[in-house]
């Protein structure tokens, strides 16, 4: 558990982790993380005093700061670092025909199946994905057992390609995967049900295989706008922010005098009536997206797709959680608008999960809006002296999933040398909600006044907290638990020499620094470009 909690987890090879004990440890970590989020003001269930509202959450006083910092990290990396990307903020309500044109009214569906005994509803594709994961688990367990038995001399690749049981599980997994991908691609609901029957998948609640047919269920929330004598207009809460960019693309291109290739970025709320809403803020009904649509010349889209895949992975890795925490997952089934798609997955406490999607959306959306609106939205290319409908590469990341990945990678329980333990959030300093806590050693002798002086000189530059209650040890623990990277203690000596003790959250080491130097020291250590210098150059180089 400690290995997981303290980050060494990421350095271990994957197969060694996936045994039952570790899985339980990970579930345990996840539960602890959820309660930590509530206890320290990061995330609360929505409508808490009314017992919550399914898959809807509120961000508390710490959560909103972390969330804002994540959004700033993304926004700056897109809009500040790229001369050819600009931002917009479009409305959530849009003309309903937009969702007809985009295909969401007809095709934004989940295949659902009910268990007749428990009356519980499931996504058929998720039941089958869970079954695939079970085969993976079986294989990984065999590998882990063998690794333990053979120790240092273990050759994993050879074992995987020769061991009878592994090969048997792998063959079943591959056959299921092929059949599943085909059923999804064909939109064959009967075949999805048949797979569930053939694989003998049972309802986790009733334990029975008494399944209904598979039906499609549209994920968009709708409401009504206006009330005229002819009746109100049915409108939708946007299920993605992307369409707000597409319908504004020509407004931005013309008013901003943008030349292809160029991008439009947007951060905003999206809504989906998710049926399988679980795992805390991983799958929500109201969530936030950070999306960027990059408009390119037809025929160049797959090159740009490759570039954006690289850029986006670098952005994630620059946070310093370790390369082994990320992987790409290329899609078998492409959405109706895409000619290539991949996910960037992060190793959450419940396995590798999608955090960001990168899609080559062709010219589908723009062409559809052209068709449905009857207006030309072609781009005139002055270099080619011709008009065309640009192709689009989309990068789309969920703020809440990013938040969850950062919290789970940062949450850490440590045993200290003095026998005590602490919970510390090792958040990247640039993202931490509070950058600096200022504490008088005691509540008398002019130390609180001096500490106030220090905080007053810094609070315009960083989010600071003043804390004078309880022992210094307890105050450090409170700041560790919310991930504050630095604490400053004002003591009697400070009144003499204008120096304070600066304590580092991760190493717990202390140094004596002059108050006049504090601003520079903290600014240097918590600034976003300190961590992402490499990222800056790669962004600029790749996006031109």
Positions touching ligand GAP (CB under 6 A) are 240, 242, 272, 274, 283-284, 287, 289, 291, 354-357, 394, 396-398, 400-401
Helix/strand/coil for 81: coil
C-beta of 211 vs 305, nearer to ligand GAP: 305
| Structure letter (DSSP) for residue 543 | H
Helix/strand/coil for 59: strand
Q: What is the C-alpha to C-alpha distance for residues 275 and 278, in angstroms, rounded to an integer? A: 9
Instruction: Kindly state the smallest distance separating residue 151's Cβ from ligand GAP, in Å.
Output: 40
Q: Which residue is nearest to ligand GAP (CB)?
A: 398
Q: Rounded to 5 degrees, what angle do the CA atoms 37, 40, 46 make?
A: 55
C-beta of 284 vs 451, nearer to ligand GAP: 284
Helix/strand/coil for 506: coil
C-beta of 74 vs 379, nearer to ligand GAP: 74
Q: What is the C-alpha to C-alpha distance for residues 422 and 435, in angstroms, rounded to an integer? A: 19
C-beta of 209 vs 317, nearer to ligand GAP: 317
**Is the sign of the CA dihedral 377, 381, 386, 391 positive or negative?**
negative
Instruction: Kindly state the smallest distance separating residue 437's Cβ from ligand GAP, in Å.
Output: 31
Which residues are 340's β-sheet partners?
Answer: 360
Instruction: Kindly state the smallest distance separating residue 272's Cβ from ligand GAP, in Å.
Output: 5
C-beta of 16 vs 314, nearer to ligand GAP: 314
Q: What is the DSSP string of 252-287?
A: HHHHTT--SSEEEEEEEEEE---SS--TGGGS-SEE
Distance from the Cα of residue 201 to its chain's centroid: 30
C-beta of 118 vs 273, nearer to ligand GAP: 273
Instruction: Kindly state the smallest distance separating residue 42's Cβ from ligand GAP, in Å.
Output: 16
Instruction: Kindly state the smallest distance separating residue 442's Cβ from ligand GAP, in Å.
Output: 46
C-beta of 343 vs 467, nearer to ligand GAP: 343
Instruction: Kindly state the smallest distance separating residue 273's Cβ from ligand GAP, in Å.
Output: 9
Instruction: Kindly state the smallest distance separating residue 69's Cβ from ligand GAP, in Å.
Output: 17
C-beta of 297 vs 329, nearer to ligand GAP: 329
Q: What is the C-alpha to C-alpha distance for residues 82 and 60, in angstroms, rounded to an integer? A: 32
C-beta of 112 vs 454, nearer to ligand GAP: 112
Instruction: Kindly state the smallest distance separating residue 64's Cβ from ligand GAP, in Å.
Output: 17
Q: What is the C-alpha to C-alpha distance for residues 240 and 90, in angstroms, rounded to an integer? A: 11
Torsion of CA 70, 98, 357, 141, to 10 degrees: 110
Q: What is the C-alpha to C-alpha distance for residues 205 and 202, in angstroms, rounded to an integer? A: 9
Tokens of 251: 């407004």
Instruction: Kindly state the smallest distance separating residue 395's Cβ from ligand GAP, in Å.
Output: 9
C-beta of 56 vs 132, nearer to ligand GAP: 56
Instruction: Kindly state the smallest distance separating residue 356's Cβ from ligand GAP, in Å.
Output: 5
CA-based diameter of the chain, in Å? 80
Q: What is the C-alpha to C-alpha distance for residues 375 and 528, in angstroms, rounded to an integer? A: 43
Q: What is the C-alpha to C-alpha distance for residues 91 and 233, in angstroms, rounded to an integer? A: 17
Contact predicate 452/466, CB 8 Å = yes
| Structure letter (DSSP) for residue 42 | S
Contact predicate 355/344, CB 8 Å = yes
Q: What is the C-alpha to C-alpha distance for residues 258 and 251, in angstroms, rounded to an integer? A: 10
C-beta of 237 vs 284, nearer to ligand GAP: 284
Instruction: Kindly state the smallest distance separating residue 67's Cβ from ligand GAP, in Å.
Output: 13
Q: Rounded to 5 degrees, what angle do the CA atoms 427, 430, 433 make?
A: 65
């Amino acid at each position: 558990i400690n290995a997981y909690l303290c980050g060494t987890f990421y350095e271990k090879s994957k197969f060694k982790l996936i045994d039952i004990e570790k899985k339980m440890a990970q579930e345990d970590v996840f539960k602890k993380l959820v309660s930590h989020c509530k206890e320290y003001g990061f995330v609360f269930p929505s409508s808490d005093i009314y017992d919550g509202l399914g898959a809807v959450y509120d961000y508390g006083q710490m959560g909103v700061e972390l969330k804002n910092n994540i959004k700033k990290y993304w926004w700056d990396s897109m809009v500040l670092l790229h001369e050819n990307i600009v931002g917009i903020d479009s409305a959530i309500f849009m003309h309903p025909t937009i969702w007809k044109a985009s295909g969401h009214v007809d095709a934004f569906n989940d295949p659902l199946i009910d268990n007749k005994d428990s009356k519980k509803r499931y996504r058929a594709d998720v039941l089958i994905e869970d079954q695939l994961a079970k085969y993976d688990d079986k294989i990984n367990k065999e590998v882990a057992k063998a690794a333990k038995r053979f120790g240092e001399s273990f050759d994993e690749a050879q074992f995987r390609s020769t061991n009878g049981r592994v090969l048997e599980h792998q063959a079943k997994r591959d056959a299921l995967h092929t059949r599943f991908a085909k059923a999804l691609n064909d939109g064959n609901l009967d075949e999805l049900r048949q797979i569930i029957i053939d694989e003998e998948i049972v309802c986790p609640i009733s334990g029975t295989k008494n399944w209904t047919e598979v039906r499609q269920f549209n994920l968009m929330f709708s409401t009504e706008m206006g009330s005229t004598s002819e009746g109100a207009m049915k409108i939708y809460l946007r299920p993605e922010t992307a369409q707000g960019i597409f319908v504004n693309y020509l407004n931005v291109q013309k008013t901003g005098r943008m030349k292809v290739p160029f991008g439009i970025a947007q951060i905003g709320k999206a809504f989906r009536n998710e049926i399988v809403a679980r795992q805390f803020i991983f799958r929500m009904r109201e969530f936030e997206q950070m999306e960027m649509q990059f408009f390119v010349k037809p025929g160049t889209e797959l090159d740009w797709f490759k570039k954006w895949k690289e850029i986006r992975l670098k952005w994630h890795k620059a946070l310093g959680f370790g390369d082994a925490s990320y992987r790409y997952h290329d899609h078998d089934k492409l959405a109706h608008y895409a000619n290539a798609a991949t996910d960037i997955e992060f190793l959450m406490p419940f396995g590798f999960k999608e955090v960001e999607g990168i899609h080559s959306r062709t010219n589908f959306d723009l062409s559809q809006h052209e068709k449905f609106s009857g207006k030309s939205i072609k781009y005139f290319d002055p270099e080619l002296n011709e008009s065309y409908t640009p192709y689009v590469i989309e990068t789309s990341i969920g703020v809440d999933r990013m938040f969850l990945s950062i919290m789970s990678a940062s949450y850490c329980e440590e045993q200290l040398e003095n026998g005590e333990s602490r919970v510390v959030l090792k958040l990247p300093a640039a993202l931490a909600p509070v950058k600096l806590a200022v504490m008088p050693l005691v509540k008398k002798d002019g130390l609180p006044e001096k500490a106030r002086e220090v905080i007053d000189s810094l609070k315009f530059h960083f989010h600071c907290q003043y804390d004078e209650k309880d022992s210094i040890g307890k105050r450090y623990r409170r700041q560790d638990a919310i991930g504050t990277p630095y604490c400053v203690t004002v003591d009697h000596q400070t009144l003499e020499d204008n120096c304070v003790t600066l304590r580092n959250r991760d190493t717990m080491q202390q140094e004596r620094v002059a108050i006049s130097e504090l601003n520079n020291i903290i600014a240097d250590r918590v600034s976003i470009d300190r961590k992402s210098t490499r990222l800056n150059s790669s962004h600029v180089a790749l996006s031109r």
